[in-house]
Structure 1
Amino acid sequence: MRNGVRGATVAAAASLLILGSGCGNGGDGGSGASESPSEHAESSANAKTVNARSDGGLGTYLTGGQNKTLYLFEKDKSPESTCSGACAQAWPPMIVKGRPVAGEGGVEKDLLGTSERRDGKTQVTYKDRPLYYYQGDQKAGQTNGQGLDQFGAKWYVLGTDGKAVKKKAKDGGGGGGY
């Protein structure tokens, strides 16, 4: 009988471990592990479409994979990116395989292009400006990177006309400093 109790105890403990391992990292992006910058850039490689989103405070600006906000870096010399290393960790480039696609909201197909990065990957450009995501934007529609001065220059959302939108974000933008 002693072996039967031990076997039942082991089985119960194993069941708890299995049940516990399924908790805490659901698909809602809550407090579980988040996507790393390189994973974000890689998953964006499959999201070739550039859309535009309207916001009362900023007007219409570009979005990429998962409808996350796209930014330009004022330090870039069109169409070449100057953001690499720690900069590209905080501001992952929009990477594609092939050609980007103009989506909804007024994105102009003729302004879309690509540029080869120093690492050999292909970055999406709009009116010759390399496009980036911001790690501080966790959901679609967030503009926490708007107006930040990081890595030697300012970051702004990009309007469908290809120009930097220099208004302040309604929510104050902001985020942690790098």
Structure 2
Amino acid sequence: MRARTALIAVPLALGLVACGGGNDAGNAAKGSGGQSTAIEVADSGVGDILVDGQGRTLYAFTKDKDGASNCDAKCIAVWPALTSTSKAAAGKGAKASLIKEAKKSGGAVQVTYGDWPLYYYVGDAAPGDVNGQGLDGEWFVVGVDGKLIRKGA
């Protein structure tokens, strides 16, 4: 019985996190009170990767093209977009020339780096986690040069 409860509890917890219950990745990513969202570079097991100002890993989706997101509502529940209410800024190690914005439906603005809209992964529990790396062969961390890092996938 305990094993069955655990099998139900884990997906339920992930579902709640994906819907916003207990996960502040989406909220913390949004610039508030005029603060800008910082894109920084951090060292990881797969090399230097993009993170937000709090050290949370940022990912790109290989189905996105030319800076436009192809991540639908079901996708966004697991891969929340990095959005900002003000212009995103280059932090430690990031290249300001690669930071841009992509308008989404409903007026939201998603931060992009190079040609890649940026996302979080709900399976990353702490800064420095890279649990989304290589998932489904479609999700990868982004390097300083704006290219996907497929190593370690």
User: Which of 1 and 2 has greater Rg?
Assistant: 1
Structure 1 residue runs of 4 or more that deviate by more than 2 Å after TM superposition = 37-40
Q: How does 1:99-110 map to 2 (within 5 A)?
A: 99-104=87-92, 106-110=93-97
Structure 1 equivalent of residue 39 of structure 2: 50
1:133 aligns with 120
- State the superposition RMSD in angstroms: 2.0
Asked if the contact 1:78–1:130 (Cα under 8 Å) also holds between the matched residues in 2, the reply is: no
Q: How big is the shift at 1:34?
A: 5.8
The count of aligned residue pairs is 132
**Structure 1 position 117, deviation (Å):** 1.1
1:158 aligns with 2:142: yes
1:66 Cα shift? 2.1
Say which SS state the counterpart of residue 52 (structure 1) adopts: strand
2:60–2:142 contact (8 Å) kept in structure 1 = yes
Q: Which has the higher contact order (CA 8 A, sep 6+)?
A: 2
1:131 positional shift: 0.2
Aligned counterpart for 1:120 among listed residues 96, 104, 107? 107
User: What SS does structure 1 have at the residue aligned with 2:128?
Assistant: coil
Q: Tell me by how many angstroms 1:120 deviates.
A: 1.8
TM-score (norm 2): 0.79
Deviations, residues 74-122 of structure 1 (Å, cap 9, x unaligned)? 0001211011211001000000012100001x21000000001123200
Aligned residue among 73, 82, 98 for 1:94? 82
Q: Which runs of 5+ in 1 are unaligned?
A: 1-32, 170-178
Percent identity at matched positions?
Answer: 37
